[in-house]
Chains A and B, each alone.
Chain A
Amino acid sequence: MMIGVKEKITSGQLMILIIQTQIGIGILFLPSTVEAVAKNDAWISVLMAGVASSLMILIMWALSRRFPSMILFDYLPLLLGKIAGKIVHVIYAMLFILECSLVMVMFADVVRDWVFASTPIWVILALMLGTSVYMAVARIQLIARFFVLTFGLIFVLILISTYAYRDADIMYILPVNGVGFPSIFKGMEKSLSSLFGFEILLLCYPNVIGVSKKILKAAMFGNIFSTCIYSFLVFTCLIVFSPEELRVIPQPVLYMVKSLSFTVFERADLYFLTIWVVVVVSTVISYLFMSAKSVSTLFGKKKHAGSVPVVALIILIISLIPHNQEMVNMLQNIVAGIAAVAIIVVPPILLGISYLLKIKGKEQTKG
């Protein structure tokens, strides 16, 4: 399958594509979820999760490199056979759809708690998904360009939260490694889910212009960037809040920003949220794109655009289901389980099969 010039992205765009998919809803929740297990060593957990995800990127890259002109779903049947290939394909489609739903559920929660207390949830979800569908039906090149455009906003978020260093106390993170390695490791597992998003590499590898080494570099840099941002935010929250506070505050970044008061404007959390919404939209677009791509290839269609609205509708329905925290947690666990299979277990197996049976895709002529 040849890919047209219009669907090509540069390696720089790939980097931003990965970053924007990784950074999203997690920046609000990560600090307190990781702190819950790793205590004041949470920032180490995040850094370690970054290392782990780099390793996964390396495997995905090594796998994609063997099929330079195909995406994951094209070579799945080659490696696993028709039936097993389809099963794994469905798992991936489910993962993307559920991940997107989870993002939507958490997004709606935050918007309800912080800004629109009485607006019906379905309105918030529909507006968000509607906006994302509009972008997700586009070619990957356009999506990447949009992401580059909104990339700068991440820095604005960082800038706003940097102001909280005003009431920071470095002693909160001491003693370093006070909780012991097992807890740090558990925290790493928790933070890994926020770093997910790099799996987009499996779906857009053939779209990237350039030699394979350059692609690896871009993906790695993207991952390092996201890891740094996440650890920075976790670190900031740790030194601003005492452990007991983090336990009761699910979105510490917003909370931290909320108490800031500048001379001209108050409620910095609203400004933060406004920008954050765009960052989340990018994540949602990415996942919509991935879900649509996996669904359309499942039914043998070439273009993903047609399945985007359908997928969006499914996601809307799924994200309307959870009514309480328990169900959200359940959804979270389901996503974590499928993600563990699809992102951590499957790629190394595929790579192994590919090496053992010497199955390789044809080299694509690079322009």
Chain B
Amino acid sequence: MIIAVIILMLCGCWDQKLLKNERNVSIGGLDQGPHGLLRATVSLRDIAVTEAGNKDTSEVHTVLARTTEHARELVNQEVSGGYSPAKMRVLLLGEPLVRNHDVMPYLDVYYRDSKSPLNARVAVTKGDTEDLIRIKQVGLKTIGLYTDDLLNSMEQSTAVPHVDIQTLHPLDRGFDFSLPYLIIREGVPTVSGIALFDGIKMTETLNLDESKLYMLLSNMKNKTATITKKSVDKNRTDSYDYVTIDVRKLKRKFKVTVSDNQEIKVKLQLKLRVSVVEDPSNHLYHMSVMHKLEKLLSEQLTDEAKAIVQKMQRAGHDGFGIARRLMAYHPKLWKQIDWKKEYPEVQFDTRVLVEIANTGITQ
């Protein structure tokens, strides 16, 4: 009886983890180290409570380890208090690492440990992640929080895809993933586009303009998506000659067909209903001008879309999930072909159609 009561009272004592004893990681980065080792950098977040209010500070540690779990142990030896990755918001991967190495082994512990943060965002940095994490603080925000907010706002404006550790688990989903690509500009982390992956290896980058269109082509429009394009002539560069459109509605037709002689053809048609948010030349009150603008925008976007698709094919990046469709609808063909060889040969029929729906409160 006494034992029963004691057990009931002690419940949870074995596994208690007090927040005050934990050192939480807000951002972590994995880099390529010498001799096949892994260089891991973490920023630990501390909140100092003073009379003036709470103040966020961060402490950066870099270790050279064999695996991610080994890195955790090493960091744990360096810092005071128990090390806990549970609150990590962003996981960064250095470009050299993802270009030359298979990163999946390093991620294993994130999938295996039940306390690991599966919803942490993942991004690639140009150069080493350590340089970015060492910035420590941008304005009032610590680097972890800053990067997380930055990625979040870029996701909202359809510039980069939302990828967290869970969605990264790329065990042959039939499509390749792409990650936000971060650079450091004037000492501040900035998103410069996306990094395209071929399987688990990074092969190519897209700049912000391209990545926006890439996102639209993959039907991943988020809250807003604005595009600024030339409005009159492709070759003129006067500030009057630009127009900014906001994509309101997106209709995507995506069809993968296989012809009789086993040729794979992809038809990708994008219909954008847009509203004009900026048009300095103010001439949209003519219907004919508007139609001309529609046509011009459609042409420009179609050309760019084609260029992006070509880039993807060259990089071996199947971001639209054509492989998935082949597996689902043409399982027999899928078993016969060597997809890595076949993908660059796939014929794309890409088209973007722009339709102006409204023009704001001025015409």
Contacts and interface: CB of A to CB of B under 8 A. Distances in A.
3 closest Cβ pairs, A-B complex: A174-B328, A244-B171, A259-B166
Given A113-B114, A126-B7, A245-B171, A119 B119 contact: no
Contact of B119 (A114, A116, A118, A260): A260
A175 B173 CA distance: 15
A120 B13 CA distance: 11
Contacts of B172: 242-244
Contacts of B118: 258-259
Contacts of A175: 328-329, 331
Interface in B128-175: 164-167, 169, 171-174
17 contacts: A113-B114, A114-B114, A116-B14, A117-B15, A117-B114, A123-B14, A126-B7, A167-B167, A174-B329, A242-B174, A244-B171, A244-B172, A258-B118, A258-B166, A259-B164, A259-B165, A261-B119
A242 B173 contact: yes
> Number of contact residues on A: which range applies?
20 to 34
A3 interface: no
Contacts, number: 64
B221 to A, nearest CB: 15
B206 to A, nearest CB: 22
B261 to A, nearest CB: 22
Interface residues of B, number: 27
B114 A119 contact: no
Contacts of B4: 130
B325 interface: yes
B331 A119 contact: no
Given A118-B14, A120-B14, A242-B172, A169 B324 contact: yes
Interface in A235-265: 242-245, 248, 258-261
Contacts of A114: 114
Contact of A127 (B11, B324, B325): B11
Interface in B155-205: 164-167, 169, 171-174
Given A242-B171, A245-B171, A115 B329 contact: no
B325 A171 contact: yes
A235 B308 CA distance: 35
Nearest to B172: A244
B82 to A, nearest CB: 13
A244 B199 CA distance: 14
A114 B7 CA distance: 20
Contacts of B114: 113-115, 117, 258, 269
Contact of B14 (A119, A169, A172, A174): A119
A113 B328 CA distance: 34
A266 B120 CA distance: 11
Contacts of B169: 245
A178 interface: yes
Nearest to A245: B171
A32 B160 CA distance: 32
Nearest to B8: A127
Interface in A70-97: none
A78 B142 CA distance: 78
Contacts of A123: 7, 11, 14
Nearest to A178: B331
A178 B7 CA distance: 52
A266 B328 CA distance: 34
A127 B7 contact: yes
A171 B328 contact: yes
A178 B326 CA distance: 13
A316 to B, nearest CB: 13
Contacts of B174: 171, 242
A217 to B, nearest CB: 39
